[in-house]
Structure formats: structure tokens, C-alpha cells
Amino acid sequence: MLEKRQQKYKTFKTVTKKNYYISFLLLISILASSCGNNKYVSKEYISTNLSNEKIELSEELFSKLKKDHYIKKFVEEDFNEKYIRALIEKLDENKFFFTQGEVDLFIEKSKNYSGSDFDIDEAYEIINLYFKRLVNFSEYQIRAIEKNSFNFNKEEFMDIYYEDNKWVETSEHLNELWRLQTKNELLVAMIADELSDQPKKDLIKRYTNKIRRIQQQREEDIFSIAMNTLTNQFDPHSSYLSPRSAEDFDMNMSLKLEGIGALLGVKDDYTEIVSLVAGGPAEKSGKILPKDRITKIKQKDLPGSDYVDVIGWRIDEVVDLIRGEAGTEVEIEFISSESGEDIRKLVTLQREEIKLEDRAAKSKVHQIVNGPKIGIIDLPSFYIDFNGYQNKSNDYKSSSGDIKNILNGFNDQNVDAVILDLRNNGGGALMEANKIIGLFVASGPTVQVKHSAGYIQPYGDSRAIQVWKKPLVVMVNRYSASASEIVAGAIQDYQRGLVVGQRTFGKGTVQSLEKLSKGQIKITESKYYRVSGTSTQNKGVVPDIELPVTWDIETVGESSYPTSLKWDTVRPYRHKKFILDSNKLENIKNLYAQRLANEPNLAYLEKVRQRYDLNKNKKELSLNIDIRESEKTLRKEWLLELENERRSLLGLIAFETYADLLEESKDESPGDEDSINIEEDFLLIEVTNIVKDFLNLKIILSKVD
């Protein structure tokens, strides 16, 4: 097999040169002729060759996937074609770097590859071409800005609706896409709130640094792209961890990493927030969201430190800038996932070592005036001190132990109902999820796990004692995943309480981590099913009452992954349900619907969502500076008007200007990190109203014998 690949690679280099030599000469001649008197000296990208070590490692990885993955007999005759198509789509999702002819050649070549295997040689060929085009694009941008020929008074538009994009036919068409993109990036720099006195120089520096970093690519970078595209053909959660990535993963699991508490990924030229670590600085700030894109980083504790533009940087270099000693501060500029390209936000974070205590459950008793006492529990993760558990310590820390103590305290204080907040809880230990369910439903099955061998194993806590017997409402959102979905699903299946919020993430799979000769591989090995027999995979848990959300949740979550495993069912597992009057539940939903139309905070969220949908469906972006300035001003005026409308209805003082609103937002601190912000959390406020309705209707919960 290895000899076959080595011989094939000798011919691959010749074919590559033959196929693209003419194309690149044409592209370079276009660049030279269109840029006039150049100051930038072109630097040719040197392709990375496939080493014998990586050939052997790829075969080892592929063998493990076929043997140990949950889905058996996955690899079929057309596997390589699907793999190559996925790689092309991953690299050039917006159809910005390849031509249609090149894509057709790659696909045709992939079909001719014999056997139920994958062609890593062609993968390297495509990835190398991609990085060459990135260099060509950046060089084009430098020369275009040096030429200084953009007319920002011209009525010109750029297509920003990428879903219907097709690859262009020629290099000249690519050139036009690049021109419009460069013009837009310069326009954004010119009208940014934090104005630079030299936007052109800043952009040229960014593009030059980007080229330098691409030129510094190592084979491990190319190999990781090829292998993670391969593992993602099985499912989105199976992945290859390079030796460096495996080291980072181990640090995250042991919680000894000093930083901001965020998982980062790459999207186009940006380092993007993928998820937030519960209890970390980013999550506690309340100002950072998944899909926010990082643009600049500043070390606050270094005298004379300036912002570093990190657009186009390698992700490991961005991570190195963000990491630092606990107690030091870093300021990060983001493009918010909820706003347009022209709007940036600055967030200052203090680095810290994320400890188990930071991820612990928090609680608060909320006394409604002339009304009930409501106990609120915020559970950021399903944590457990595994060392203490394995050593049979009597007081090891765990989420189930903490929640049990909180519930006992609520009972002592005569609390009337509990809200269990699982928003943004990405999961954790399955045994903890089982124990927490038991605190509300007593003994019984909580979840079923189907293993790759085909057998189904029920899980639960046969010794569980129901600590809380009064009404329960569980809050979830799109970032509630895995163990959170098990808990929410069980509460629904047992009819123990209400689940409110948004449809959950839909991660109903379990992964194991296995060592390779170099690095590690994470493989999906089993699936979760609810006791009702339905899977949480892909569809997630659908809440009984759906709360408003300001963005499109379908853009993230399991269902947004093209290779996610399908939703299915198994046989239900016998369990004793609680009696929950369906007619009274309908009354609760009707009362909520009435508030949704009139309550100021909920109306505010609905209007933000309407604006989001309007921007999301926008097809074109003007490249006229007057129009863009006007759009930016109108957006600020709309935000100010919307906020003041909300404040007026609530009897609060209105802001005079947008600057006042912005200053108030900057001055807002996350407050006491151990507290639950009932005053500012609009959805939590509404859930207390739902709980009040629950209590007023005198719904009695009892288990069927």
C-alpha cells in the first residue's frame, strides 16, 4: 500500500504542475498588469510534500475509524469522491478560491481512485492549491491597496449571500471577486468606530503577515486538515488530534489551562469562538457569544502594548496571544455574531485558571412580591472530582452532591418551586446526570445507551431518593447539549415538570479517545436514547414552551452538520410517569402567549430577532461609503430607539445618545460571579412568570403506581 502511494505521489507532482502552470501564469500576469508600480515583492508558495510518516499515520487512523466507529460498513465505493467533495467544500465554502474547471478535475480524479479508500495524495494537492490561492489573493490585495484606485463614491455592490454561490469559470472572475472583497475590507477599516490614522498601512501589514504565516505552514497543518475532513465523513464529533492539539485537549480536561475559557476554531480568515467553558472569564463576562470573530488582541498589562491585528493568523498563534499568567488582562476586539461587519465590540478579560469550583452549581431564592418563593439553580456543567470519587472520599465534589444540598436548603426555606437552568451547559459526566434526575423523580431508568456492537444498555440510579417533590421547570437553549439533553429529556418523559427555552443542540453521541502512534483520535462509539425510546441525536429536546431567541438557532447545533448521525428510535424502556394535567399545561402556554405580545422585555427580543432575520437574508452589500455610513448610523439609531422603548415601558430613564447606551454597556460588570442575575436576564424573568402560573393553577405532581 505504501509503495503504491509513493509511486502515485511521484506522478502527482508532475500532474499538479501540468494542470495548474498555465492557470497560475495567467493569474500572476493579471496581478502584474493590474497593479502598476508594485512595492510588494512576490513570494512563491512552496507546496508541502506528503511524507512516508504521514502516509502510515493516515492508514492507521483510517483503520481505527473503520474498526471502532459506531457506524459499521460506512466506507463504500464512492467514499473517496464524497471525501474530496467535502474537502473542497470545507476549504472553499464561499466559492472564492477555486474555479469550476479545477473543481470538476478534482471530482473526476476522485472517481477514478480505485477501492473503498481515500486518496490522501489528492487531498494534499487540493490543500496546497488552496494555500497558493490564499497567497495569490493576499498579494492581490496588497497591490490593489498600493495602487489606490478604489472609488468609494461609485454605486457598486458585493454579493454576500453565499448559499447560492457557484464556482466561477476563469481566473479573471476570481480576480473580480477579490477586488470587491479588498474594497470592502478597506471600506470597513475607513469607517470603523476605532479609527486608525493609517487604514491602508494596517491592511497591508495584515496581508503581509498572513502570507508569512501561510509560508510557515508545516506538514502537520496540511495533514490535520486532510485527516479531520476524513474523520468528519463518519460524523462531526470524530476527530484527529495532532500532538499539539492532544496536549491542549489534556490541559483543558485537567482544567489547568490559564486563559479566557473559550474553545476556538477557524472560519475563513478569522479565529472564531466555538463554545465557552462554564465558569471561565469569557462566559462570566456575559459579553461573548459563540460565533463571535476575533479581530484584534491587546495585552493590557504590558506597558506600551498596542492592538495586534490577528485576522488571517494561524489559530495556534492566536491562542498563544490569548493565553497568559492568571491575573493578567487581555483586551479582545470582536465582530459580534449578532451584528453586521461594520460593528465591533471590545471586551477586557482577566485570565485565570479555571477550577472545578468555578463550574459549580449556583443558587438563589427569588421572592416574588406578594407571591411564591422560587428557587433558581444555575448548573454550568455536570462535574465530578473523579480522583475523589475513585478514592472513595466521603466529601468529593460533584454536581449531584451540590444540587442535593441546594434542594435540601430550599426545602428548609419553604421554597415553592425550582427552576433548573441548563442553558449553555454542554454536558459532562453521565453518572452525574443520572443522579440529578434521581433527585427529582426517585429511582428508575434515566437514559438508554446503544453501543456499536448493537446492544442497548439502560442507565439509572436504583437507590435514588426524590429530594424535591414540588414543581420543577428546566431551562434549556441551543447550547444545552449531551448530559443536559438527557436530564431535560427525562424530565419530559417522566412528566415531572416543564422544559422551556429553545430546542437543544442535538448531540446524542458518545466519543472515546484513543492513542495513535503520533497524536490521538476521538471516535464516536455509541448513541444516547431517552427512556421513551426517542434519540436526542440531531433533533435535540423540543421544549414544552419555546422562548424567543434573537438569532437563528438552525445555524448551529447537530442538525447544521452535514455528516451528523440521523435521528432514530429504539424500544421504550418501562418507567412510571407522573400525573401532569394536560389541560392545565395548555392554560400555562396560553398565559405565556398573552405575555409574549405585550411584555416589554420579550417584545424587545422579538424585534431584535426580526432585525437579525432582515440582515441574514440580505443579498448585497453596498461599497459606497456614504451609503455604508448612513446604514451604520441608522442601525445605531434603531438600537437606541428600541432600547429606549423598552426602558420607557418599564419606567426606566431613557438614554440621550447611542454613546450613552454604549458607555452603560461597557460599564456593566458581570456582577457577583456567584449570583444569578434575575434583574437583567429577560428569559429568566419570564420563566419565573411561568412558574407563578404553574403554582396558581395548583398542578399536583404525583407518580403513577
Amino acid present at 330: V
Return d(Cα 199, Cα 190) in angstroms, integer: 6
DSSP state of 154: S
Q: Which of 138, 381, 399, 482 is catalytic?
A: 482
Supply 147's cell numbers: 495602487
In the residue annotation, 493 being an active-site residue is answered as yes
Return d(Cα 557, Cα 503) in angstroms, integer: 10
425, 431, 432, 433: CA torsion to nearest 10: 50
Return d(Cα 145, Cα 207) in angstroms, integer: 11
Grouping H, G, I as helix, E, B as strand and the rest as coil, residue 263 is strand
Given a contact cutoff of 8 angstroms between Cβ atoms, the answer to whether 365 and 406 are in contact is no
Return d(Cα 422, Cα 485) in angstroms, integer: 9
In the residue annotation, 121 being an active-site residue is answered as no
DSSP state of 557: S
Going from the C-alpha of 285 to that of each of 637, 643, 667, 672, the distances in angstroms are: 26, 21, 12, 11
Q: Which of 109, 287, 507, 539 is catalytic?
A: 507
Grouping H, G, I as helix, E, B as strand and the rest as coil, residue 393 is coil
In the residue annotation, 119 being an active-site residue is answered as no
Buried-state track 309-324, b at ≥16 Cβ within 10 A, e below 16? bbbbbbbeebbebbbb
Grouping H, G, I as helix, E, B as strand and the rest as coil, residue 212 is helix
Given a contact cutoff of 8 angstroms between Cβ atoms, the answer to whether 382 and 428 are in contact is yes
Return d(Cα 490, Cα 136) in angstroms, integer: 54
Amino acid present at 314: R
H/E stretch holding 529 reads strand 520-529
Of 440, 443, 456, the closest CA to residue 576 belongs to 443
Grouping H, G, I as helix, E, B as strand and the rest as coil, residue 183 is helix
Return d(Cα 610, Cα 616) in angstroms, integer: 10
Return d(Cα 689, Cα 600) in angstroms, integer: 14
Q: Which of 92, 493, 544, 681 is catalytic?
A: 493
Active site residues: 482, 493, 507
